[in-house]
Amino acid sequence: MFKQKVFSGVQPTGNLHLGNYLGAIKKFVELQKSHDCIYCVVDMHAITVWQDPAELPRATREVTSAFIACGIDPKKHIVFNQSQVSGHAELAWIFNCVARMGWLNRMTQFKEKAGKDRENASVGLYVYPNLMAADILVYRATHVPVGDDQKQHLELSRDIAQKFNNDFSASIQAHGHGEAFFPLPEPLIQGPATRVMSLRDGAKKMSKSEPSDYSRINLTDDADAIAQKIRKAKTDPEPLPSEEKGLEPRPEADNLVGIYAALADVTKADVLHEHGGAQFSVFKAALVELAVAKLGPIGAEMKRLVADPAYIDSVLADGSVRAQALAVETMQAVKDIVGFIRH
């Protein structure tokens, strides 16, 4: 009933890392072959926590350059920054009135990010998932490639779409939109690296905001930095197991095997078939070689692209115009459905 369409976003909040690449951007690239795709630099999400206005444009261009360097084609698909398409904020407001407090109170990311100082967190951080639902649904997107950490937010997006469809059912039909106006967007969370962990602690997610740079591989790291970080990555003294089951009680080993598998486009079982029984010194050397071969060209291309901000800005401007045209169409229908008079 709904045309298949892909939407996803990345926040311009700091160092893009291997988790962002394997959990999200690499999938974005693959989906271009089979779907119409819209990829967004979500600058409005970024300001839910303080961002230096002098730094935000650089970070926005860096994410855009990563999209392109990883292989996203901004001509065939749409690449833009969220703040330039007003439909995101407009639909988010309507969703603020659809989503329930009880739903948002269950969001674990808010609890983690607000920490103990909840009273001092921005209201934007609290309603972040409503804006995320609006990002997806303003294009009536059906599929959303994300890392495992976004699963709960995607479930909330589906709940919001469902409640909107139910609450406004009569009006949706009266305006000729059939049974349901919004699709229930499906998360695409697949493969061996949906949750890449810190290189220093197998229990923590690899993250942009972690103070230790040794916890992550940044997409702009050069070969020496990649090699050093992998060599210093925390491991245990045992050799690699030959079966996946043997990784279960060993989060650091599991993480490195998952990274290897995702970079090589094979399964963890394939990696263990080849490297089972190897000492970490040997396996890490193979991982360094693979990571440098895969990430080196991306980092070099990102550096080349960020040196040309006029080109990056032209990509975002072009994408914003095309995204705006799609979002306006949805918002006109939404305003009719909700009962707003349009002039």
Q: Is 205 a catalytic residue?
A: yes
Q: Does 140 bind ligand AQP (CB under 6 A)?
A: no
CA-based nearest residue to 283, from 223, 224, 216, 236: 236
Q: Interface with ligand AQP by CB under 6 A: which range of 114-122, 141-149, 154-162, 228-236?
A: 141-149
Among 150, 235, 255, 330, indicate the residue that binds ligand AQP (CB under 6 A). 150
Q: Does 316 bind ligand AQP (CB under 6 A)?
A: no
Cα–Cα distance measured from residue 208 to residue 231, given in angstroms and rounded to the nearest whole number: 20
DSSP secondary structure string for all residues of 116-164 = T-GGGS-HHHHTHHHHHHHHHHTTT--EEE--GGGHHHHHHHHHHHHHH
Pattern of binders to ligand AQP over 90-129, x per CB under 6 A? ----------------------------------------
| 67 contacts 26 by C-beta, under 8 angstroms | no
| 291 contacts 226 by C-beta, under 8 angstroms | yes
Residue type, 242: S
Looking up tokens 């009569």, which residue turns up? Answer: 170
- From 163, 208, 234, 303, the catalytic residue: 208
Least Å distance between CB 177 and ligand AQP?
Answer: 29
Among 30, 36, 149, 336, indicate the residue that binds ligand AQP (CB under 6 A). 149
Q: Is 113 a catalytic residue?
A: yes
Q: Does 195 bind ligand AQP (CB under 6 A)?
A: yes
Looking at the DSSP bridge assignments, the partners of residue 223 are none
Q: Does 11 bind ligand AQP (CB under 6 A)?
A: yes
| 145 contacts 6 by C-beta, under 8 angstroms | yes
- From 205, 229, 284, 294, the catalytic residue: 205
Among 208, 250, 303, 322, indicate the residue that binds ligand AQP (CB under 6 A). 208
Q: Which residue has the closest beta carbon to ligand AQP? A: 23
Q: Does 196 bind ligand AQP (CB under 6 A)?
A: yes
Phi/psi for 115 (5° steps) reads 60, -145
Q: Does 205 bind ligand AQP (CB under 6 A)?
A: yes
Cβ count within 10 A of residue 306 = 18
Residue type, 111: K
Q: Is 27 a catalytic residue?
A: no
| 3 contacts 142 by C-beta, under 8 angstroms | yes
Residue ranges in contact with ligand AQP by CB under 6 A: 10-11, 13, 19-20, 23-24, 146-147, 149-150, 194-196, 205-209
Catalytic residues: 113, 205, 208
